[in-house]
Amino acid sequence: MDFAFSEEQEMLRTSARDFLAKESPSSYVRRMMEADDAWDPDMWRRLADMGWTALGIPEEYGGVGTFLDLAVVLEEAGRTLLLGPFFATMGLAVPALLETGTGQQKQAVLGRIVSGEARATVALTEPAGRWDADGIALTAAPSGDGWRLDGTKLFVPDAAVADHTIVAARTRS
């Protein structure tokens, strides 16, 4: 079995490395970290224009490529400490939505992420600090057209700029 990246993935890696070296050098990262919100809508638009917000999302929702293609870009983003909601959206929320979302939820959210119109995150961590299913204490109960949440989530990455939040909650005891 061959675990090497394909020629196209290596080209994507080179392209991502070159873009991030130019657009997200350490001086930019330091400047953004000193800002109040470390959020650059211009950078998000450029990532979307390059098609990075479509990687790993199925074609039926407007996406392209595979999750492995996304992993190539995420690895390069990690090398340069790319700030902003790229990892929260593409590395956390999109896989969670693809795995657990309803068809209607996927239809409503994924196309907006692909186009760069929306960002997303996940709310997992609770005060107990557990990551397993038994550690989820936040409850969700039907209420009107939606759900009423009761509990606490901590350390929600990029929550301030997310348009959608996927929340791990308990719907029954």
- Strand stretches in 109-167, DSSP E: 120-123, 139-143, 146-150, 164-167
Count other C-beta atoms under 10 Å from residue 23's C-beta: 16
In a domain, 154, yes or no: yes
In a domain, 172, yes or no: no
Domain that holds residue 76: 7-167
Domain count, the chain: 1
> Which tens digits make up the pLDDT trace of 34-56?
988 888 999 999 999 999 999 99
pTM for the full model? 0.94
In a domain, 16, yes or no: yes
Q: How many residues would you count in the chain?
A: 173
CA distance 87 to 121: 9
In a domain, 156, yes or no: yes
CA distance 148 to 145: 10
CB-based contact 118:148 (threshold 8 Å): no
> Which tens digits make up the pLDDT trace of 114-173?
999 999 999 999 999 988 889 999 999 999 999 999 999 999 999 999 999 999 999 987
CA distance 52 to 19: 12
In a domain, 1, yes or no: no
Question: Tokens for 4?
Answer: 């090497």
pLDDT of residue 92: 98
Three-state SS at 147: strand
CB-based contact 47:20 (threshold 8 Å): no
Instruction: Read off the CATH number of the domain in which 15 is found.
Output: 1.10.540.10
In a domain, 173, yes or no: no
In a domain, 32, yes or no: yes
Question: Tokens for 165?
Answer: 């939040």
